[in-house]
Amino acid sequence: MKVLVFKTPKSHEIIKTVEAHGFEVVSENPDMVVSYGGDGTLMRSEHMYPGIPKLPLRASAVCKLCSPVSNDEVLEKVKQNRYSIEEFWKLNVVAHGETYVGVNDVIVHNKDPRHAIRYDVAVNNKKILEGVIGDGVVVATPFGSTGYYRSITDSYFEVGMGLAFNNSTEQSDHIVLKENSVIRITIARGPAIVYVDNRKESIELSDGDFAEIQKSSEVARIVRIGVRE
């Protein structure tokens, strides 16, 4: 099997181990992408190589999808075809004609931390909130609901799309919507920025601009160990 080891400052540590288990390490057209790190590394590898199955190997204490067994055992089970591939749906956000795709969440946040933003929220073309003042919103997938969304709401969910309000001046309860919902965040007073997951890129929103968020047609494919025996 051909695998690409996603490049990080630590990736050199795992290449010999991968090769020792009989995998061919390549730089293009892999069957799988090895993500050696934690949750952040896994998300970055999905952004760089979307849709290709990701094999998470642990090099961090925070790795939700890493197997509890050793990396050596994970590689051996994959070699023996004792694994399955689980799919996780993603989110699209469109703003200013640009589209970003996230595995965890889409964040609309105040650009200047010293100043709150004011914004309206519409779901499926129906305005549900107007003039909300705060740091912004987090829209999460079920997979992402155990991250930033959970830190805001002290909760998580397994079905649907989560909408959390970050430091609102008035109490705004989080909402779990159907996963086919379309959310529009319109900025009444900015500036704000939009970004997904842990990506460096962002889109700036000024007064009157909006970001539209919905389920993506793309999925992330993650190798799971111990499901097929």
Which residues have a catalytic role annotated? Answer: 39
Instruction: Give the span between the Cα atoms of 165 and 147, in whole angstroms.
Output: 14
Which secondary-structure segment (H or E) carries 36?
A: strand 32-37
Burial track 141-179 (b if 16+ CB lie within 10 A, e otherwise): bbbbbbbbbbebbeebbeebbbbbbbebeeebebbbbee
Of 173, 36, 187, the C-alpha closest to 110 is 187
